Amino acid sequence: MSAFLPLDPLGIDELLGPEDLAIRDTVRDWAADRVLPHIAGWYESGELPGIRELAWELGSIGALGMSLEGYGCAGASAVQYGLACLELEAADSGIRSLVSVQGSLAMYAIWKYGSEEQKQRWLPGMAAGELIGCFGLTEPDVGSDPAAMRTHAKRDGGDWVLSGRKMWITNGSVAAVAVVWAQTDEGIRGFAVPTDTPGFSAPEIKHKWSLRASVTSELVMDEVRLPADAVLPGVTGLKGPLGCLSHARYGIVWGSMGAARASFEAALDYAKTREQFGKPIGGFQLTQAKLADMALELHKGILLAHHLGRRMDAGTLRPEQISFGKLNNVREAIEICRTARTILGANGISLEYPVMRHATNLESVLTYEGTVEMHQLVLGKALTGLDAFR
């Protein structure tokens, strides 16, 4: 009988093959070397210095667009991509967001819906981390109802003229290409917009109390003139951006468990070394109950992510199942962080420990790419057959 491992109590690692473990360990080692020694300072200062170098390094280990085939992408499995997301978010949600937006939103949109010319132009450089991309869907007055977006594009001779604003856009201020969704006379269309096009600007959003080690921007399009071949030809309508969001939400199912794992491990280590009333606090029943409950939800969440990953690899994963995973895992990750903070006591609010940083980051993860309420309604409709969205 194998030993009980406190950090892998269900033996989940036994479900992974040698290549899965190698990819996980590569990403974990990179994050330990390049992110963890600096992340508290980056978070405190509210910036992500050297983002272009970090992107290049992530490209060099195959982490950008890693589940896509061709064009310099790694062609990894969904489970392998999920493991990478978990390790990146165990370092910081902002780093995982950089990778998710690059690969699962911007690159995926071009890979899935773009022309061959668009793929050849953008994807190899993005996979290598030489070019950064962003994804413009959310607007200042339009979040959960993207069909009501006001950004619009109109034909003008052989060109398109694009105008509007997008909000809360990760990577926006450093992107070379923005995938922007807009209303047209033909329906909602996506555009691959070079960010050096006249009329395009991306002012960075400051004063955030969450995802502080991440570049977050507004996109402003003021009569941006684009050639006819800037439009993504492979899709019309909301199924385009929603398909991209499903791919990115899947990464969040895994990533959120990374933040939860880091907080749990910090609390477990602290409980074994912090003494009160003459013994480590981990020896008291209430603390052990907290640790047991945290471990239950953490490893149930990882098992759920693993199950969804196998379904994605088999081509059987449904959008409702992704909603199931995001709703459960982000919600439980936040609770794990909050419980971990109580074990650390006053030290739980210090940046010397990762717990409060992960907790505040998860408040953003909870609402982006689908709020709690939207995922509840997705599942409610699937369960009842009745549409409560309108």
Three-state secondary structure call for residue 17: coil
Task: Please check whether residue 206 is in contact with residue 188, taking contact to mean a CB–CB distance below 8 angstroms.
Answer: no
Q: Are residues 357 and 254 in the same domain?
A: yes
The answer to whether residue 390 is domain-embedded is: no
Same domain, 197 and 331: no
Catalytic residue among 87, 218, 297, 369: 369
Give yes or no for a contact between 204 and 251, defined as CB atoms under 8 angstroms apart: no
Looking at the fold, whether 224 and 303 belong to one and the same domain comes out as no
- Asked if residue 2 belongs to a domain, the reply is no
Of 214, 236, 258, the one marking the end of a domain is 236
pLDDT of residue 271: 98
99 and 167 belong to one structural domain: no
**119 and 179 share one domain:** no
How does pLDDT run across 302-358, given as a tens digit for each residue?
999 999 999 999 999 999 999 999 999 999 999 999 999 999 999 999 999 999 999
**Residue 69: active-site member:** no
Same domain, 374 and 244: yes
Q: Domain check: are 283 and 377 in the same one?
A: yes
Residue 229 in any domain: the answer is yes
Same domain? For 220 and 336 the reply is no
Same domain for 356 and 253, yes or no, is yes
Could you tell me if 265 and 282 are in contact, meaning their C-beta atoms sit under 8 angstroms apart? no
Render each residue's pLDDT in the chain as its tens digit; 390 residues. Answer: 788 999 999 999 999 999 999 999 999 999 999 999 999 999 999 999 999 999 999 999 999 999 999 999 999 999 999 999 999 999 999 999 999 999 999 999 999 999 999 999 999 999 999 999 999 999 998 888 888 999 999 999 999 999 999 999 999 999 999 999 999 999 999 999 999 999 999 999 999 999 999 999 999 999 999 999 999 999 999 999 999 999 999 999 999 999 999 999 999 999 999 999 999 999 999 999 999 999 999 999 999 999 999 999 999 999 999 999 999 999 999 999 999 999 999 999 999 999 999 999 999 999 988 889 999 999 999 999 999 987
Q: Is 153:230 a contact under the CB 8 Å cutoff?
A: no
- Tell me if 389 is assigned to some domain: no
d(CA 312, CA 194): 31
- Whether residue 247 sits in one domain with residue 380: yes
Please tell me whether residue 369 adopts helix, strand or coil conformation. Answer: coil
How far apart are the C-alpha atoms of 292 and 136, rounded to whole Å? Answer: 41
In a domain, 304, yes or no: yes
* Boundaries of domain holding 118: 12-128
Q: Please choose, from the candidates 107, 237, 124, the residue with its C-alpha nearest in 3D space to the C-alpha of residue 179.
A: 107
Question: Given this model, what pLDDT does residue 390 score?
Answer: 74
Nearest to 125 by CA among 78, 72, 79: 72
Q: Which of 236, 270, 305 is the last residue of a domain?
A: 236
Q: In the listed set 128, 158, 185, which residue is the last one of a domain according to the structure? A: 128
H or E segment and range at residue 253: helix 239-273
CATH code at 192?
2.40.110.10
139/137 Cα distance (integer angstroms)? 6
CATH of the domain at 91: 1.10.540.10
User: If you count them, how many residues does the chain have?
Assistant: 390
User: Is 71 a domain residue?
Assistant: yes
Domain containing residue 309: CATH number: 1.20.140.10
pLDDT at 1: 77
- Residue 123 and residue 157 in one domain: no
Assigned domain for 1 exists? no
Q: What is the CA radius of gyration of the chain?
A: 21
- How many separate domains does the chain show? 3
6 is a domain residue: no
Concatenating the DSSP letter of every residue in 168-186 gives EEETGGG-SEEEEEEEETT
Judgement on whether residues 162 and 121 belong to the same structural domain of the protein: no
**pLDDT tens string 138-185:** 999 888 888 899 999 999 999 999 999 999 999 999 999 999 999 999
Contacts 24+ apart (CB under 8 A), 198-206: 198/224, 198/225, 199/223, 199/224, 199/225, 200/224, 202/134, 202/169, 202/172, 202/173, 202/175, 202/178, 203/173, 204/172, 204/173, 205/167, 205/168, 206/46
